Amino acid sequence: MNIREEKVLVCGAGGFIGGHLIQSLLNQGISITRAVDVKPLDEWYQKSPMVENLSLDLREKDNSLAGTPGIKIDYQIAADMGAMRFIENNKALCMLSVLTNTHMLMAARESGVQRFFYSSSACVYNGDKQKHAQVTPLKEEDAYPALPEDGYGWEKLFSERMCRHFYEDFGLETRVARYHNVYGPLGTYDGGREKAPAAICRKVIQAKMSGDHSIEIWGDGEQTRSFMYIDDCIKGTLAILESDIYEPVNLGSSELVTINQLVDIVEEIAGLKLQRCYKLDAPKGVAGRNSDNTKIHNYLGWEPSISLRDGMAKTYAWIESQMLTPVTS
């Protein structure tokens, strides 16, 4: 399939990943027909005048149908989600994204969409396999027997199954990527939905600006994660969409670090050392999570190209520029 000749829809276009995806497609000369997000247009992280930008709540079936006429490629990245604090305290809201995914699949089938990409998450993985910081990298089959993260993880796993059955029963070509902790510039860095890389950058910058050289870390800092820079995420997403991979596949980095090590990296970028205060009763998620990239490497030869240190430097620089820019009314 030559996606450069097809009409494209991006759902979740006003969000962090959706905004970067649109810019990447446009930079490659791919004409995006339509971009949709529930947020008002003035709240989108990125938007382009070259695209039909629509503010629609895709949890409503009629809105889903309004977005798909004439579309041949549908990137379904829309979801109500955020960092661990949001996920743990808003399980019902996270589950309601099932409506968005279901309605978009129904609309895609009805409108004759040829290929449907769904962004799943590493939160689908069985919690019993993530109880230790020195976690064995998670293979795709480790999602079963099912014991995903409550709320958000169950929504993602259920929607993966919906994609599978829409292909088996109706012939809708679906592709599913399990994103592992995507980070980078032009996204949320405060307000409660920000992920750990952005939150740590913000806290270090605040400490540097205020002169109060201390930082609060959620948990004991020994929980482990891998983090994927946004450019690698977008490259992997496009490759999976164009591939013949009919099963969910990991899309993430295998560069495992503790949260303490992530703070070390940001301190080094900022050029200062901070007193660490550990908030042990804060939401901190699983003890360890890492991506096994064997399958995507075998299928596509894909590996992340941007190191955590380099990606964090770019993220830090952007967040600092935002925090140093005076807010104008």
Which residues participate in catalysis according to the annotation?
152
| Bridge partner residues of 59 (DSSP) | none
Neighbours of 43 (CB within 10 A): 11
Cα 229 from Cα 195, distance rounded (Å): 12
Cα 97 from Cα 1, distance rounded (Å): 29
Joined tokens for residue 296: 């995507």
CB 121 within 8 A of CB 160: no
Compute and round to an integer the Cα radius of gyration of the chain.
19
Give the phi and the psi of residue 59 in degrees, each rounded to 5: -70, -15
Place of tokens 């609309």: 107
Give the phi and the psi of residue 20 in degrees, each rounded to 5: -65, -35
